[in-house]
Amino acid sequence: APPGDALGCVPSSAWVVAVADGLIVRAEDGAVVQDLDGDGLEQTGWDVLYMHIDSRDRVHPSTYLRAGERIGHPSCEGGLSTGTHLHLARKYNGEWIPADGDLPFVLDGWVSSGTGVPYDGYLRRNGEVIEAWNGRSEENEIHR
């Protein structure tokens, strides 16, 4: 969930930023897909899905973004949700790659690991451990 005091499905001024360089190939219904190999196809190479992105200020398809550039704002768009948040997932050659599988998801040095239970897991970096929770707490915040 983005920083702030408000809970639930509320507009956020926080920005979701690109995790890598790549071409935006889809932006609709809360989903934004970034193609990292530049061929414009979700079915080949690496792709990143940013889910629950507000339609307000959302990046448009055919936009090339560098890592750190703005995707849009976290929201509840694109499915059932009880609070403003972001889901981040990846595909390789059209196949979803689990964050807790043999190839961990590494984001700015944070390494993902799972528990075998959907939506539960950990991020670890330099001895610090953050657990995924269904809610916001100081104990599961990452500060940048």
Per-residue pLDDT, 7: 82
Per-residue pLDDT, 87: 93
Strand ranges (DSSP E) for the chain? 16-17, 22-28, 31-35, 46-51, 64-65, 70-72, 87-92, 95-96, 106-107, 110-114, 121-125, 128-131
Per-residue pLDDT, 107: 92
Q: 21, 29 in Cβ contact below 8 A? A: no
Q: Which fold has domain 7-94?
A: Glucose Permease (Domain IIA) (2.70.70)
Per-residue pLDDT, 5: 61
| Residue 113 tokens, joined | 């690991």
Give this prediction's pTM.
0.92
Spans of the chain, pLDDT less than 50: none
Interatomic CA distance for residues 41 and 69, integer angstroms: 21
Per-residue pLDDT, 139: 77
Reported as a single tens digit per residue, the pLDDT across 53-95 is 999 999 999 999 999 999 999 999 998 888 899 999 999 999 9
Interatomic CA distance for residues 73 and 59, integer angstroms: 10
Per-residue pLDDT, 137: 76
Q: Where are the domains of the chain?
A: 7-94, 98-144
